Amino acid sequence: MSTPFRSGAFRLSPSDYSALTDAAQQNPEVYWQNQSTRLDWIRSPSSAQDTGNGWFADGTLNASVNCLDRHLESRGEQIGLIWQAEEADHVVRLTYRDLHARVCQMANVLRDHGISRGDRVAIHLPTVIEGVVGMLACARLGAIHVVLFGGFSPEAIADRLADSGATLVITANVGRRGAKRIPFKTTMDSALSLRPETLSVRSVLVVSVTDEPVPMQAGRDELLTPLLEKAETSCPAETMASTDPLFLLYTSGSTGKPKGIVHGTGGYLTWASYTHELVFDHQKGDVFWCTADIGWITGHSYVVYGPLSNGGTILLFEGMPSHPTPGRWWEVIQSHKVTTFYTSPTAIRALMREGNDLPRQYDLTSLRVLGTVGEPISQEAWSWFDDVIGGGRCAFVDTWWQTESGGIMISPVPGAVKEKPASATLPLPGVHPVLLDDKGQVLDGATEGVLCLDGSWPGRALTIWNDDALFQTTYLRPYPGHYFTGDGARRDEDGYYWITGRVDDVINVSGHRIGSAEIEDALAAEHAIVESAAIGIPHDLKGQGIIVYAVARDPSHPELEMLAVRAITAKVGRYAVPEKVYIVPDLPKTRSGKNVRRLMRKIACGETDGLGDLSTLADPEIVDVLIRIVQG
Residues that bind ligand WTA (CB under 6 A): 251, 296-298, 373-376, 398-403, 424, 485-487, 499, 502, 508, 513
Residue 50 or residue 487: which is nearer to ligand WTA going by CB? 487
Instruction: Provide the 8-state DSSP code for 474.
Output: I
Q: Which residue is nearest to ligand WTA (CB)?
A: 403
- Nearest alpha carbon to residue 457 among 266, 244, 241: 266
Taking the least distance from each CB to ligand WTA, the nearer of 60 and 508 is: 508
At residue 60, the 3 state secondary structure works out as strand
CA distance 398 to 349: 15
CB nearer to ligand WTA: give 69 or 487.
Answer: 487
Please state the three-class secondary structure of 98-161 as a single string.
HHHHHHHHHHHHHHHCCCCCCCEEEEECCCCHHHHHHHHHHHHHCCEEEECCCCCCHHHHHHHH
Q: How far is the CB of 477 from ligand WTA (least distance, A)?
A: 18
From 338, 286, 342, select the one nearest 311 (Cα to Cα): 286
Distance CA 509, CA 519 (A): 13
What does the alpha-carbon distance between residue 631 and residue 628 come to, in Å, rounded to a whole number?
5
Whole-number minimum distance, CB 485 to ligand WTA, in Å?
6
Q: How far is the CB of 275 from ligand WTA (least distance, A)?
A: 11
CB of 528 to ligand WTA, least distance (A): 32
Q: CB 399 → ligand WTA: shortest distance, Å?
A: 5
CB atoms within 10 A of CB 183: 15
> How many Cβ atoms from other residues are within 10 Å of residue 256's Cβ?
14
Buried b (16+ CB within 10 A) or exposed e, 473-499: ebbeebbeebbbbbbbbbbeeeebbbb
Shortest CB 269 distance to ligand WTA, Å: 17
Which residue, 64 or 252, has its beta carbon nearer to ligand WTA? 252
Calculate the CA dihedral of residues 185, 188, 192, 194 and round it to 10 degrees.
Answer: 120
CA quadruple 421, 329, 78, 121: dihedral positive or negative?
negative
Nearer to ligand WTA, 173 or 251 (CB): 251
Give me the least distance between CB of 293 and ligand WTA, in Å please: 11
CB 347, min distance to ligand WTA, A = 14
Of 309 and 402, nearer to ligand WTA (C-beta) is: 402
Output 383-391 pairs: Cβ under 8 A, ≥24 positions apart. 383/421, 384/348, 384/352, 384/356, 385/348, 386/3, 386/421, 388/356, 388/359, 388/360, 389/330, 389/341, 389/359, 389/364, 390/364, 391/364, 391/365, 391/367
Within 8 A by CB and 6+ apart from 230, the residues are none
If the CB atoms of residues 55 and 400 are measured against ligand WTA, the closer one turns out to be 400
- Closest approach of ligand WTA to the CB of residue 309, in Å: 18
> 476 Cβ partners below 8 Å, 6+ apart?
483, 484
CB of 32 or CB of 498, closer to ligand WTA: 498
CB 578 within 8 A of CB 518: no
CA dist list (Å): 630 to 311, 530, 603, 606: 54, 19, 7, 8
Round to whole Å and give the CA distance between 239 and 496: 41
Nearer to ligand WTA, 168 or 435 (CB): 435
DSSP-based three-state secondary structure for 167:
coil
How many Cα neighbours within 13 Å face the side chain of 367? 31
Q: Toward ligand WTA, which CB reaches closer, 460 or 513?
A: 513
CB 295 → ligand WTA: shortest distance, Å? 10
Q: How far is the CB of 384 from ligand WTA (least distance, A)?
A: 16
- Please identify, using beta-carbon distances, which residue of 128 and 424 lies nearer to ligand WTA: 424
Q: How far is the CB of 453 from ligand WTA (least distance, A)?
A: 12
In angstroms, rounded to a whole number, what is the distance separating the alpha carbons of residues 525 and 571?
9
How many other β-carbons are positioned within 10 Å of the β-carbon of residue 7? 14
CB nearer ligand WTA, residue 297 or residue 416: 297
What whole-number distance in Å separates Cα of residue 490 and Cα of residue 397?
18
Give the separation between CA 359 and CA 391, rounded to whole angstroms.
10
Beta carbon of residue 487, minimum distance to ligand WTA (angstroms, whole number): 5
Q: Which is nearer to ligand WTA, 45 or 376 (CB)?
A: 376
Give the shortest CB-489-to-ligand WTA separation in angstroms: 9
Cβ distance to ligand WTA smaller for residue 244 or 487:
487
Q: Radius of gyration over alpha carbons of the chain, in Å?
A: 24
Rounded to a whole number of angstroms, the minimum distance from the CB of residue 512 to ligand WTA is 7
- What's the Cα-to-Cα distance from 334 to each of 360, 363, 474, rounded to whole Å? 11, 5, 44
Based on CB atoms, which residue is closest to ligand WTA, 374 or 578?
374
Residue 193: phi and psi, rounded to 5, are: -95, -5
